[in-house]
Amino acid sequence: MLCGALLSGGGSYEVFDTAAKVDDLLSTFHGIDYGSKAAPVGFTDAIADLEACSLPEVVPAQVWSPGYRYHMQLFLTPDRTRLVVCYAVHLPQREAAAAN
């Protein structure tokens, strides 16, 4: 829902040219220690969905909009036709202000 709100509110998006290996993403994601900070919204589900997907690679993409304190991190199928996983990354207030 947040991703749609960002886009319908005049947000921008970027789909990266290079695919990422799912095993490499999972290794990175499992190694992240958030300490006392909360993990990104939907991050735990995104990891589970990546673990369950049968694709060797996914294509990273992002959606953002000035004025929002979140940007969305997406991973698409290699042919870029379907969403595999998505989670929201909270921007610190300073970064959100700079994005405006």
List the structure tokens of 99. Answer: 């994005």
List the structure tokens of 50. Answer: 């990546």
Q: For residue 59, give its domain range.
A: 2-98
List the structure tokens of 88. Answer: 């929201």
Residue 96's pLDDT band (boundaries 50, 70, 90)? very low
Q: How far is CA 57 from CA 15, 30, 31, 74, 80, in A?
A: 14, 17, 19, 13, 11
Q: pTM for this structure?
A: 0.78
Strand partners, 83: 76
pLDDT in tens, 15-54: 999 999 999 999 988 887 666 566 777 888 888 999 999 9
What pLDDT does 44 receive?
85
Regarding predicted confidence, which is higher, 42 or 57? 57
Domain count along the chain: 1
pLDDT in tens, 77-88: 999 999 899 888
